[in-house]
């Protein structure tokens, strides 16, 4: 799976949230400054060519929907981050968050419980 460019990722975030949307609705979900309609349409077309989204035609209008789930994309991207920046060690990632105080004791306990429940 390809990594998405920043604006492609923003559009995918909108589609994951909306589940299906026309270009105008996608633009409404994006943060300011909002891209021009034609710019958004071009990026949507690229996402469709990459296999991330598809559409249903309603006359001359297209309603787009994701083909790749947010969970699938998260798994892929996070896997790359762990591999490339944490020597393929999820433990190193958790240690990093603990060291940077981005995770607290309660959250660590929750992670431990999740692991125990998997066994």
Q: 19-47, pLDDT tens digit by residue?
A: 999 999 999 999 999 999 999 999 999 99
Q: What is the pLDDT of residue 3?
A: 86
Q: Is the pLDDT of residue 113 over 80?
A: yes
Model confidence over 52-75: pLDDT tens digits? Answer: 999 999 999 999 999 999 999 999
CA distance 47 to 8: 7
Of 117, 77, 116, 82, the C-alpha closest to 97 is 82
CB-based contact 8:43 (threshold 8 Å): yes
First to last CA, the chain: 29
Domains of the chain: 6-66 (1.10.10.10), 70-118 (1.10.4040)
Instruction: Print burial letters for 63-83: b (CB count within 10 Å at least 16), e (below 16).
Output: ebebebeeeebeeeeeeeebe
User: 7 and 43 in contact (C-beta within 8 Å)?
Assistant: yes
Quote the CA–CA distance of 8 and 26 in Å, as a whole number: 11
Percent of the chain with pLDDT over 70: 99
Separation of alpha carbons 66 and 74, rounded Å: 14
């Amino acid at each position: 799976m390809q990594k998405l460019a920043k604006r492609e990722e923003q559009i995918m975030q909108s589609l994951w949230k909306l589940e299906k949307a026309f270009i105008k609705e996608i633009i409404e979900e994006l943060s300011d400054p909002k891209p021009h309609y034609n710019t958004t349409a071009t990026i949507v077309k690229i996402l469709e060519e990459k296999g991330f989204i598809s559409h249903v035609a309603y006359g001359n209008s297209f309603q787009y929907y994701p083909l790749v789930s947010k969970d699938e994309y998260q798994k892929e991207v996070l896997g790359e981050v762990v591999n490339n920046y944490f020597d393929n060690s999820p433990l190193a990632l958790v240690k990093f968050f603990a060291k940077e105080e981005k995770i607290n004791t309660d959250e660590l306990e929750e992670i431990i419980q999740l692991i125990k429940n998997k066994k």
